């Protein structure tokens, strides 16, 4: 019998601590289940579209704010997601791996759901509809819930700043994540990201282990 692959995604606003948690989670999981293939991945990826995105996100004027530039950005995120599915997520799940992705399609719905306001009608739903026919739905999505003001404070102590780090923007993104979570309560699980890093990782591990065990 082949082992069923499992797709777990980590979502939340910038500064919510999911990337730190991802590292803790993957090393703990690998220790607990040394026989299980584990893939830790992220979006934007290191693929072609992902590289363009990362370059833009790190240069202050790299992305214009005109409607066409914002649409271009949306389609770059979507192209990167399609590439991620074809190159890594799909094949890894086929092999029975546990795939943990630090951001996934929900980030596009939440973030571009803000940047496309006034450009397409109801952008969160619009983006979800574009993804629906071809996306691979995660088995579990951990939403790292944190007050945007606290997230911003955490980030301001970091050196690198990206264009998405303003409070109003993060508030809107956070609202979109909450909307997405309420649309699919069976897939989303809330993690209290206001706690310290160890506690956050422990909450995430508990949920993941529960999901892994129920898939056996
Ligand atoms: P992030 O995971 O925060 O990258 P890093 O690990 O380098 O901090 O992602 C970079 C930014 O890209 C972040 O502000 C969220 C944004 N983003 C989108 O706007 N749409 C998307 O679809 C994805 C995946 C990320």
Q: Supply the pLDDT for residue 1.
A: 47
Indicate whether 102 belongs to any domain: yes
Query: Sorting pLDDT into bands at 50, 70 and 90, what band is 3?
Result: low
**CATH number of the domain where residue 29 is located:** 3.40.50.300
Alpha carbons 141 and 11: distance in angstroms, whole number: 7
Range of the domain at 64: 6-214
Among the listed ranges 39-43, 152-156, 163-167, which one has the minimum average pLDDT value? 163-167
Alpha carbons 173 and 177: distance in angstroms, whole number: 6
Average pLDDT over residues 9-25: 96
Ligand 1, residues at Cβ distance < 6 Å: 14, 19, 43-44, 57, 77, 102-103, 107-108, 111-112, 162, 164
The average confidence (pLDDT) of the chain is 92
Indicate whether 1 belongs to any domain: no
Alpha carbons 131 and 128: distance in angstroms, whole number: 5
Using CA positions, which residue lies closest to atom 24 of ligand 1? 43
What value, to the nearest 5°, has the Cα angle with vertex 93 and ends 28 and 54? 75
Chain segment 43-75, per-residue pLDDT in tens:
999 999 999 999 998 876 534 579 999 999 999
Query: From the CA of 3, how far away is ligand 1's center (Å)?
Result: 31
Mutate to test the pocket of ligand 1, among 21, 40, 44, 177 (most ligand atoms within 8 A of CB): 44
% residues pLDDT > 90 (the chain): 84
| Residue 43: HSE in the Cβ half-sphere, 13 Å Cα cutoff | 28
User: What is the number of structural domains in the chain?
Assistant: 1
């Amino acid at each position: 019998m082949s082992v069923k692959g499992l797709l777990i995604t980590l979502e939340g606003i910038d500064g919510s601590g999911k990337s730190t948690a991802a590292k803790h989670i993957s090393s703990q999981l690998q220790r607990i289940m040394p026989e299980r293939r584990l893939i830790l991945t992220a979006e934007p990826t290191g693929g072609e579209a992902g590289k363009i995105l990362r370059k833009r996100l790190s240069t202050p004027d790299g992305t214009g704010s005109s409607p066409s530039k914002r649409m271009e950005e949306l389609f770059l995120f979507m192209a990167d997601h399609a590439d991620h599915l074809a190159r890594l997520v799909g094949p890894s799940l086929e092999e029975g791996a546990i795939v943990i992705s630090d951001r996934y399609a929900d980030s596009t719905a939440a973030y571009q759901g803000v940047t496309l306001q006034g450009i397409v009608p109801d952008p969160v739903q619009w983006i979800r509809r574009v993804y629906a026919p071809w996306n691979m739905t995660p088995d579990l999505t951990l939403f790292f819930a944190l007050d945007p003001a606290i997230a911003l404070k955490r980030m301001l102590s970091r050196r690198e700043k990206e264009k998405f780090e303003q409070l109003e923007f993060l508030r809107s993104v956070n609202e979109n994540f909450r909307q997405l979570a309420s649309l699919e309560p069976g897939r989303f699980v809330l993690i209290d990201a206001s706690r310290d890093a160890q506690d956050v990782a422990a909450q995430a591990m508990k949920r993941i282990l529960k999901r892994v065990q129920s898939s056996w």
